[in-house]
Amino acid sequence: MHTSPQLDHGWLPRLGAVLTGLAGVVNVASALTPDIRWRGHLLLRLEGVQALQVFHALALPAGAALLLVAPYLLRRRRRAMRVAVVLLAAIGLVNLLKGLDYEECAFGWIAAAVLVAGRDQFTVLHPPLSLRSAIWRVPLIGATGLALVGIAEWASRGRPRADVIIDESAALMQFRHGHLRFERHTLHAFGHAVSFQWMPLAIHFVEIATLLGIAYVLFRPLTAPRAWPTAGVRRLAAQIVRQHGQDTLSFFKLRPDKHYFFNAPRTAFVGYRVEAGTLLLSGDPVGPPEAFADLLGELRRFAASRGLKLGAVGASATVVRLYEHVGLRSLYIGDEAIVQLADFSLEGRAIRKVRQSVSRLTKAGYRSELRTLAELDPDTLDQLHRVLEAGRIGAKERGFSMCLDGVNGTNEQDTLFVLARDGEDAVRGVLHFVPCYGRPAMSLSIMRRDPSTPNGLMEFLVVAAIEGMRERGIEELSLNFAALTKCIREPQTVFERLLGRAASALDRYLQVESLYRFNIKFSPRWEPRYLVYEGRLGLVRAAVGAMWAEGQMPKPRVPLLPPRSSRRALEPVNR
């Protein structure tokens, strides 16, 4: 099988960023300290005093610009590398002309040489610049300064002069004192005297904030697609799932809140969302297994060019090896409970509590039925939705990698429902299953019951699902995912034992141990699932992104920012 090489994450960008930051500090310090006297006398024979002052004035903002660019070099921003090279080359010349500072000149040019040597490792690309994005911000500093100084002049003299405003603004923006003394200027209003001594500091804050804004716009990376997939793209994804959906989580790629990335021949794809700076995949890729390695290599380059880390939640043990081949890391997060239907029986002591629940619910008048979506009449659908809503008990819908967000979407015609009806023929509980096209298996998507129903109804429904699907030729039933089951079931290290105890202590809030206890009643086999992340420090980012995507942790929202799906895409959607 052909495999893609690992993406090159060399050390030159990090070294270049450190050297650039040091060059900025050195230049700022050099601009603020006196020149060596004999060098100054020698320069005065070659250039005038005024020219010497100009080069001194340039050294301070140039050094500050290097400090501003250095953090973006650490993030491998390609445009930042180009700007830093130009700045370092120019500052070297400035250092020679302002005081024959050949040490600073050599240091800056060495830093520029390191950046040039590692230029291919600056992988993060940028959207094209436009008048709307960056250029209009440049004169904002001067315009704001002119306005503020004009206010001060008007308040102090009543009739501001243009030449004084321009001269004072230039002085403030160069961090030097002008002719005006703002502490003497006051505005008398409503019987109070308002001083303008805060004016220089306010202008400096405006300058710094505007420079940071310009840097953000200049060096921001390309964004991943923001508009959701088109109908044609979704049809292609559904077709690949039907042809190659071997994994029990494959069908969940068809949720409408996922983006798709296809390989070049468009025979395989992944479903993803961007969360916490991570391009977070949902489970395994779907397609021919021989296409996965190239697909993941292309995907990692796609993520790197946009300044994103790559991650996956719910990855299987088989595909984890491919993730590791392209340089990613993995962490066990839990197990998927899979019931072998041929081996299941209600006989025996181990299954006694489930058998008692089935017997008790049957005597109470409950019965089950297995239906497809097409077989549900409108009245049954209405009752079903009421149970789904009541079963949430006010909580938000959860899920990303291992459940659907509804029961009657575009691709749900092949799904199955197991309904529980009470003695009055009302729907009181629902199990929703999705198909696994590549093998005779079904996966549980949603499990809900009316809160007023007796305990044991879920066990009653699972047994009904097992018996009904066994008659349809289904061999395996994926119940659900239970976190940290190995740490609860058979911990092997001190750390795993601590995790198991923490899961038990927090079960009231996270329902980790209780879900494991429910699954184990049906004697399943356990299939491990993993969280995949990039880099040693990428675990926290990937874990936060996964919890946001799965709805396990509230996601902070920026006020007045439109929802992600409504923002305009900056590039073609769904590569």
Q: Are strands 269-275 and 259-262 parallel, antiparallel or unpaired?
A: antiparallel
pLDDT value, residue 483: 84
pLDDT value, residue 567: 38
Report the alpha-carbon distance of residue 269 to residue 286 in Å, rounded.
Answer: 6
Report the alpha-carbon distance of residue 264 to residue 421 in Å, rounded.
Answer: 49
pLDDT value, residue 262: 95
Whether the CB-CB separation of 87 and 69 falls below 8 Å is answered with yes
pLDDT value, residue 157: 54
Three-state SS annotation for 377-431: CHHHHHHHHHHHHHHHCCCCCCCCCCCCCCCCCCCHHHCEEEEEECCCCCEEEEE
Q: Alpha helices, DSSP H only, in 118-182?
A: 140-157, 162-173
pLDDT value, residue 487: 85
**Quick one: average pLDDT of 260-288?**
93
Whether the CB-CB separation of 24 and 64 falls below 8 Å is answered with yes
The helix or strand, by DSSP H or E, that contains position 499, with its residue range, turns out to be helix 494-505
Whether the CB-CB separation of 111 and 23 falls below 8 Å is answered with yes
Examine the pLDDT at 295 and tell me if it is beyond 90.
yes
Report the alpha-carbon distance of residue 570 to residue 75 in Å, rounded.
Answer: 21
Report the alpha-carbon distance of residue 15 to residue 518 in Å, rounded.
Answer: 53
Q: Are strands 427-436 and 441-449 parallel, antiparallel or unpaired?
A: antiparallel
- Nearest-10 crossing angle of helices 49-74, 12-32: 150
> 């994994």: which residue's tokens?
247
The helix or strand, by DSSP H or E, that contains position 295, with its residue range, turns out to be helix 292-304
Residue 419: closest CA among 454, 455, 388, 452: 388
Q: Are strands 309-316 and 525-533 parallel, antiparallel or unpaired?
A: antiparallel
To the question of pTM greater than 0.85 for the whole model, the response is no
pLDDT tens-place string over residues 454-476: 999 999 999 999 999 999 999 99
Q: Which residues pair with 432 in a beta bridge?
A: 417, 446
Query: What end-to-end distance do the CA atoms of the chain give, in Å?
Result: 24
pLDDT value, residue 78: 85
Average model confidence (pLDDT) across the chain: 78
Whether the CB-CB separation of 334 and 303 falls below 8 Å is answered with no
Token pair recorded at residue 140: 């904002």
pLDDT tens-place string over residues 548-560: 888 877 777 655 4
pLDDT value, residue 529: 94
pLDDT tens-place string over residues 128-175: 665 555 555 555 555 655 565 565 555 555 556 666 666 665 565 555
* C-alpha gyration radius of the chain: 32
| Chain center to CA of 555 | 11
pLDDT tens-place string over residues 330-376: 999 889 999 999 999 999 888 999 999 999 999 999 999 999 988 99
Three-state SS annotation for 271-286: EEEEECCEEEEECCCE
pLDDT tens-place string over residues 182-209: 555 555 444 555 555 655 555 555 556 6
**Quick one: average pLDDT of 532-555?**
86
Report the alpha-carbon distance of residue 89 to residue 67 in Å, rounded.
Answer: 15
In percent, the amount of the chain with pLDDT more than 70 equals: 71
Q: Classify the C-alpha dihedral 68-72-73-74 as positive or negative.
A: positive
Q: Which residues pair with 273 in a beta bridge?
A: 280
